[in-house]
Amino acid sequence: MKKLVAILMLATAIVAPETAFAKDLSITAQMGPYSGRPAYLAIYVTKPDGSYDSTLWIAGQKTRFYQDLRNWFRGIAASGETIDGITGASVGSGQTLSVNVTLADALIDAGYQLHVDSAVEDGGYYPNDVVLPLSTASSGKPVSGSGYVQSLTVTM
């Protein structure tokens, strides 16, 4: 009986960590040239059905402007998620934002997508400025933005 328990414990120690694997991602947003104040960015994940999943990073510390990032703001408001510890300074024209995050392996190559919404005070709002699949095939390949983000690269 003791051998059986020891074998089961060893098997659990070998198998259990695989279910909790996470992948480190490096996200680099290169801002295009524009006039005006620094941009607010919401970097978040959506599920395969398009619904909000989680927030990875918010660039911009004045919370009163978060509602300007409407797609992301609706998702986070409905989820009740907190964003403590995942915010930083806004990003200006021509600047680069680099963020390192950890994401569950189960989200990679499973239909989840990474979104970036961008907004500038007294400027425009770009929902889905950049959208790319969370897939190993897209790793390291820059994707052009449609608004303030010139390009976004995610490396896994």
The pair of three-digit structure tokens given for residue 142, joined into one six-digit string: 């820059």
Cα–Cα distance for residue pair 64/32, rounded to 1 Å: 24
Give the pairing of strands 39-46 and 113-120.
antiparallel
- Residue-level pLDDT at 30: 98
The pair of three-digit structure tokens given for residue 144, joined into one six-digit string: 């052009």
pLDDT tens per residue across all 156 residues of the chain: 555 444 444 444 444 444 458 999 999 999 999 999 999 999 999 999 999 999 999 999 888 899 999 999 999 989 888 887 788 999 999 999 999 999 999 999 999 999 999 999 989 999 999 999 999 999 999 999 999 999 999 999
- Residue-level pLDDT at 61: 84
Question: CB pairs under 8 A, 24+ apart, for 59-65?
Answer: 59/87, 59/88, 59/89, 59/90, 59/91, 59/97, 60/87, 60/89, 60/90, 61/87, 61/88, 61/89, 61/90, 65/40, 65/119, 65/121
Residue whose structure tokens are 């990474």: 114
Phi, psi at 155, each rounded to 5°: -115, 130
The pair of three-digit structure tokens given for residue 34, joined into one six-digit string: 């524009």
Q: Which amino acid does the sequence have at 38?
A: P
Pick from 12, 22, 9: which is nearest to 104 by CA? 22
- Residue-level pLDDT at 3: 52
